[in-house]
Structure 1
């Protein structure tokens, strides 16, 4: 399945997030992530959150999920973080639906979530790469976002291909955006979708010259 960009969804999510997060100083990150998630028509949005983090990003993703009629999941490490998150979201996000909250370690949590097409992790968490490595992505591919990327890029040896299952997923393109503390973004496709595209391209075309009557058979690349 091909991922199609929707400028209308992106614009609506961006504007709604600006209105909801205008009182927060983390301006820019939440709106941009919201627009990306909505613009790519994400149906399963997953993010990580822990005690002490801000909530504008979560508000933006909740708004994006509303525009795409998608599922929004927030993964927290413990009960304390869950309680803090629920309290923060309830007081800050009036009218914004509260996401589904899952408590646990990456290994047990990501095993329960299948078909992720938009994943946001915090590079300040030591286990952020485990979420990326264990994520079961959508068959149409996914967009992966590392927040606080300046922290991540200072870690020796980090590479997108190093935290993904090379046999299942392929990094199509990456980009670093100097927004807030930095956003590192990767567009990933599944190997099955790559094979499907290749198979589709390799086909034979039969053409008959109407004047000479000669038949030509051409193989597409």
Structure 2
């Protein structure tokens, strides 16, 4: 099996995230990521939370996508302070928190398997190691670098940080928030008919600027 795009699931996740994130000022990123995770019917969504960097809106969007896809949402935090920040923010938004794993992100991600949607903040110093050690699903996976403008690696390429079992099929950088760098990766050794399964498009309108962004799923 491989990741299969569902425009209906993407639409439902997007709409519900719009409704839930009305109380946030910066909801554009949350809506887009929720639509992507929901559209791909992600079964294991892993979010690497960065204290002071991640937004509650994005976490809410991923939680909604997981609920629509019948998937599992895991949030990794570095310490107890970050865990409390995350849990309190989710409760304030009226959304049940994800499963929370406390500890070093690199070590924590090794304990998770079949990840098909991974979101990591570009401001993290261990960004590359987290991606490299993540056990991605054999169905393929979507990788997201939030705040990509903060990434310190010069000449960054997804292929340079992935392990040998995965290969980049396509990637795109979107001017949403402080930058979203999104990559679709396939499992080496598994043949995927991407031209047939990824012929859908998502139109996203930034709530603040009014700009329209179109991304192919």
TM-score w.r.t. length of structure 1: 0.83
Which is greater in Rg? 1
Match of 1:17 in 2: 17
Match of 2:76 in 1: 75
Match of 1:150 in 2: 149
Shift of 1:50: 2.4
Provide the rounded CA distance (Å) in 2 between the counterparts of 1:87 and 1:113: 24
Shift of 1:149: 0.9
Provide the rounded CA distance (Å) in 1 between the counterparts of 2:5 and 2:51: 33
Provide the rounded CA distance (Å) in 2 between the counterparts of 1:112 and 1:191: 21
Task: Tell which has more relative contact order, 1 or 2 (C-alpha 8 A, sep 6+).
Answer: 2
Shift of 1:98: 1.5
Provide the rounded CA distance (Å) in 2 between the counterparts of 1:106 and 1:132: 10
> Which runs of 5 or more residues in structure 2 are unaligned?
194-217
Match of 1:59 in 2: 60
Provide the rounded CA distance (Å) in 1 between the counterparts of 2:28 and 2:188: 33
Provide the rounded CA distance (Å) in 1 between the counterparts of 2:159 and 2:55: 29
Provide the rounded CA distance (Å) in 1 between the counterparts of 2:75 and 2:43: 14
Matches of residues 5-154 of structure 1 in structure 2 within 5 Å?
5-52=5-52, 53-92=54-93, 94=94, 96-152=95-151
CA contact (8 A) 2:169 2:185 kept: yes
Matches of residues 139-218 of structure 1 in structure 2 within 5 Å?
139-152=138-151, 155-165=153-163, 167-194=164-191
Provide the rounded CA distance (Å) in 2 between the counterparts of 1:106 and 1:60: 21
Give the number of equivalent residue pairs: 192
> Which runs of 5 or more residues in structure 1 are unaligned?
198-221
Shift of 1:7: 0.7
CA contact (8 A) 1:9 1:68 kept: yes
Match of 1:218 in 2: none
Shift of 1:157: 3.2
Provide the rounded CA distance (Å) in 2 between the counterparts of 1:185 and 1:136: 18
Provide the rounded CA distance (Å) in 1 between the counterparts of 2:129 and 2:105: 6
Structure 1 SS opposite 2:189: helix
Shift of 1:24: 1.1
Greater shift in the superposed pair: 44-53 or 140-149 = 44-53
